[in-house]
Amino acid sequence: MAIEFVAGPNVEGLAISEAVRADGFVFLSGLAGFGPDGEIISGGVVAETDRIMLDLKDILARAGLRLSDVVRVSVHLRSATDLDAFNDAYAKYFPKSKPARIATVAGLLHGGLLELEVIAHGPKPAQQEEK
Amino acid sequence: MAIEFVAGPNVEGLAISEAVRADGFVFLSGLAGFGPDGEIISGGVVAETDRIMLDLKDILARAGLRLSDVVRVSVHLRSATDLDAFNDAYAKYFPKSKPARIATVAGLLHGGLLELEVIAHGPKPAQQEEK
Amino acid sequence: MAIEFVAGPNVEGLAISEAVRADGFVFLSGLAGFGPDGEIISGGVVAETDRIMLDLKDILARAGLRLSDVVRVSVHLRSATDLDAFNDAYAKYFPKSKPARIATVAGLLHGGLLELEVIAHGPKPAQQEEK
């Protein structure tokens, strides 16, 4: 099966795909708490996490997947002091199907407090197969 | 094939799985040198690496895999000065089948000196298939 | 299918494989701007990016793949100030098939300005299948 590059509205003009599907796996580009105006939203780590999860659900939906199809999440936090607040915000999105997770403190290339890397897995939706 | 979330004893109560299997791949959560008491063991980078490898072998065994099934390792070191000692400790666990590896210096969310991300690949054990 | 460890000339004597294939996926070890003499080349982030892309194409070719088979790239930059120059250098290698991408600022274990993690996907070349 060929690789499928998902363009998506958030990466127009950039040298990246929103997500790339290969076999049953979907690899997403880094997710940060950007609002509709292209700026990191205010409100701190919980607000950014909620915003990222909204985007994540949208991107997964465009690939025919859901949060329960997420296999692995890598979290890059700007500050270790945000870990507990992040954990609480994150946990409510994965009540049963809990992805493998790695978390580190890293420098970020935007003004946000965190960035998420996501790998998901699931079948391609039927309407896309028919193309 | 559905995703399979491996709970494991080390992540009880946390919003993560010890490992997640999808197709033939097994994605593990970040591994650090935690001892049985839940604290990072003392002894430095070699002791922590040995401890992580013990845990890694246990987790892989629960998924029916071995160290020679590890495909890729990402190493996050707290300090670049530990690289040589880590390399020596690491190399003896992969004498023949050497995973692809990435190593960076990163902030860690625990008191340890390193954290490992691991992706493995191999067949599901037969007794699990029968479930 | 068994895992296949690709040795490669750049990792002789090290505890890593140049790349590891499992199913259709190829996981590469971290790529930095090392020249033929084993030292990071001079010239800055654009020169290093170009050098990394040369190596990447070579390694992919040894696995029967091309740049358009790259699924995901993680970029670790030493300094956020190199992002724009890196982006421009990077974009010209992926004019159409754009990998999912994550970029962070991280400490590096060599003297270079960046390191790339790459996952690719594609069929095994026919001559290797016959082995």
Is residue B116 exposed (0-12), middle (13-18) or buried (19+ Cβ within 10 Å)?
A: buried
8 A C-beta contact, residue C30 and residue C9:
no
For residue C129, pLDDT beyond 70: no
DSSP tally for chain B: helices H, then strands E = 3, 7
Q: Tell the burial category of A45 from Cβ atoms under 10 Å away from its Cβ (0-12, 13-18, 19+).
A: buried
Q: Which of B69, B72, B106 sits opposite C106 (nearest CB)?
A: B106
CB atoms within 10 A of CB B85: 14
pLDDT in tens, B5-42: 876 776 777 789 999 999 999 999 999 999 999 999 99
Find, in chain B, the residue whose alpha carbon is nearest to that of A82.
Answer: B109
- Dihedral of the alpha carbons of B33, B51, A117, B11, in degrees to the nearest 10: -80
Strands A25-28 and A19-22: antiparallel
Q: Are C73 and C117 in contact (CB under 8 A)?
A: yes
Rounded to two decimals, the ipTM of the complex is: 0.92
Q: What is the pLDDT of residue B105?
A: 97
Report which residue type is found at C35.
Answer: G
Residue range C28-45: mean pLDDT, rounded: 95
Mean pLDDT of chain C: 91
pLDDT tens, residue by residue, C81-127: 999 999 999 999 999 899 999 999 999 999 999 999 999 999 887 75
Q: What is the pLDDT of residues A49-80, one digit of tens each?
A: 999 999 999 999 999 999 999 999 999 999 99
Residues of B in contact with A80 (CB under 8 A): 107, 109
User: B23 contacts in C (CB within 8 Å)?
Assistant: 23
Query: Which is it for the CA torsion A129, C21, C8, C40, positive or negative?
Result: positive
A72 inside 8 A of chain B by CB: yes
Residue C31 has pLDDT above 90, yes or no: yes
Question: Cα(B71)–Cα(B66) distance, rounded to whole angstroms?
Answer: 11
φ and ψ at residue C101, rounded to 5 degrees = -145, 140
C122 near A CB under 8 A: yes
Find which of C21, C29, C52, C60 to mutate to test the B interface (most B CBs within 10 Å of its CB). C29
Q: Does C82 touch chain A (CB under 8 A)?
A: no
Query: Is B15 an interface residue toward A (CB < 8 Å)?
Result: yes
Question: What is the identity of the amino acid at C1?
Answer: M
Q: What is the pLDDT along chain A (131 residues), one digit of tens a residue?
A: 578 887 676 677 778 999 999 999 999 999 999 999 999 999 999 999 999 999 999 999 999 999 999 999 999 999 999 999 999 999 999 998 999 999 999 999 999 999 999 999 998 877 554 44
Give the H/E segment covering residue A62. Answer: helix A45-62
| pLDDT of res. C130 | 43
More confident residue, C126 or B75: B75
DSSP 3-state percent helix, strand, coil across chain C (nearest 5): 30, 30, 40
Per-residue pLDDT, C117: 97
Note whether C115 contacts A: Cβ–Cβ < 8 A. Answer: no
Give the pLDDT score at A118.
Answer: 98
* pLDDT over threshold 90, residue B1: no
Backbone angles phi, psi at C44, to 5 degrees: 95, -170
Which residue of chain B comes nearest to C105, CA vs CA? B106
> What per-residue confidence (pLDDT) applies to B130?
43
Contact residues, chain C, for A107 at CB < 8 Å:
80, 104-106
Q: Residue A100 and residue B17: Cβ atoms within 8 Å?
A: yes
Whole-number Å distance between alpha carbons of A40 and A85:
18
- Residue B109 identity: L
Chain C residue with the nearest C-alpha to that of A1: C122
Q: What is the pLDDT of residue A124?
A: 82
Res C1: pLDDT: 56
Alpha helices by DSSP H, B1-131: 45-62, 83-91, 126-129
Q: Which two tokens stand for residue C17?
A: 């494989």
Q: Do A3 and C97 touch (CB under 8 A)?
A: yes
Provide the number of CB pairs (under 8 Å) joining chain A to chain B. 74
Distance, CA of C74 to CA of C80 (rounded, Å): 15
Question: Cα separation of C15 and B87, whole Å?
Answer: 8
Q: Which residue of chain B has the CA closest to A100?
A: B29
Burial tier of C62 (Cβ tally within 10 Å: 0-12, 13-18, 19+):
middle
